[in-house]
Structure 1
Amino acid sequence: MKNQRIAAAAVLALACAAAAAHPQTGGAHAHGFFDGFVHPFTGLDHLLAMLAVGIWSARQANARWLPATFLGMMLFGVLTGVAGLAIPGLETGIALTVALMGMLIAVAARLPAALGGLMVGAFALLHGNAHGHELPEAASTMGLLAASALLVYGGRMLGRVSPALALKLAGAAIAATGVMLVATA
């Protein structure tokens, strides 16, 4: 019980970091490689979504290409953000990606490959668009993609080596955090 309270407190404390990752809330970001690289680690929404994509992809049949799809569509999303495309409800959409990916992991959902690819691609587009507005320079985009690849493929590794029950519990925690992020978006 004590460990559960500590975990809950940690999740709530980290939830505040999600807002810090988005300059729309105020403040300016630098735009170098390092700034792009650390960015996914500073926002709980981005961190959990990328880990969740990797975890979920590891449990899908014939889905080795899902992480690459996510990264490619994230790059496309960055380009849309740099070009100035504003997606209405973007922050809510990003928070929903966390909740939905967590739910898919928690229930061990298996989707047809095409549907999984479309879903992951759409989620990546949202994340990328937000990053394109926040980190519009090429160097920061390269850092962002490098860190994102580490997170997605790290999540995939976790998905391959972790027991099913542990993944389901992690998915439930990710989904609950996503719901909390939706409520605060």
Structure 2
Amino acid sequence: MFSKLSKFNAALAACVLAPSLAFAHTSIVQTVGFVHGFTHPVSGLDHVLAMVLVGVLAWQLGGRALWLVPTTFVLVMAVGGALGMVGISLPFVEAGIAFSVIILGAIVALGIRAPVAIAAGSVGLFAIFHGHTHGSEMPEAAGGIAYAAGFMLATAALHIAGIALGYLTGKASDQHGAIVMRSAGGIAALAGVGLLTGLI
């Protein structure tokens, strides 16, 4: 038990400190780890949809949510990643990821304006599942710190893409922009149902 806790604390520290340490190592292992980590979130439709939806949700809420909601996701995802890296199991991971797409898509589609704390807490819950998948699928040859930096950076980039998408759509047309975003949220929610049922 102590050994697992020590490994978890070390992995969590690595994830949290990753952004500042990632480029301090130039070995092949670290480079491979970073590339694997960066490509993992962008290689699956479920992850891409959820991450972009977090950005769109942050844009819809505006104000503090623009930075607090995505930041919460990335930091809590690091915790989930640490759990996965040290082999601590988590139930219903795949279902949790699919439900994240369904629920986030539905929130965007319905234009629900939840308080920022509730929005951040909700995305934090989903982030555990996404992070666990990233961590548990880390290649053995990859360096943990670089791998964590990669998937955290890719996730942040997808959040920014979601915020930019919302902003540009809103700028294009105040009236039709919201309709486009809500329609996209509905399509994403349906895609989440497809992921949950195995149709996609």
CA distance in 2, matches of 1:144, 1:31: 12
Structure 1 segments unaligned to the other structure (5+ residues):
1-29
1:139 alignment partner, one of 130, 143, 146? 146
Q: Which residue of 2 aligns with 1:93?
A: 96
Question: Could you say what secondary structure the match of 1:59 adopts?
Answer: helix
CA deviation after TM superposition for structure 1 residue 173, in Å: 0.8
**Is residue 192 of structure 2 the alignment partner of residue 178 of structure 1?**
yes
Question: Could you say what secondary structure the match of 1:153 adopts?
Answer: helix
The answer to whether the Cα contact below 8 Å between 1:135 and 1:141 also exists between their aligned partners in 2 is no
- Supply the RMSD in Å over aligned alpha carbons: 1.6
CA deviation after TM superposition for structure 1 residue 161, in Å: 2.1
**Is residue 106 of structure 2 the alignment partner of residue 103 of structure 1?**
yes
**Is residue 158 of structure 2 the alignment partner of residue 151 of structure 1?**
yes
Q: Which residue of 1 aligns with 2:85?
A: 82
The answer to whether the Cα contact below 8 Å between 1:78 and 1:128 also exists between their aligned partners in 2 is yes
Cα gap change, 1:92 to 1:31, in 2 (>3 Å): farther
Write the deviation string for residues 39-69 of structure 1: whole angstroms up to 9, x where unpaired. 1111000010000000011111431211111
CA deviation after TM superposition for structure 1 residue 122, in Å: 0.6
CA distance in 2, matches of 1:146, 1:129: 16
TM-score (norm 2): 0.74
Stretches of 4+ moved more than 6 A in 1?
Answer: none
CA distance in 1, matches of 2:91, 2:75: 22
TM-score (norm 1): 0.80
* Percentage identity across paired residues of the two chains: 38
Which has the larger Rg? 2
Q: Which residue of 2 aligns with 1:59?
A: 60
**Is residue 174 of structure 2 the alignment partner of residue 160 of structure 1?**
no
CA distance in 1, matches of 2:156, 2:117: 21
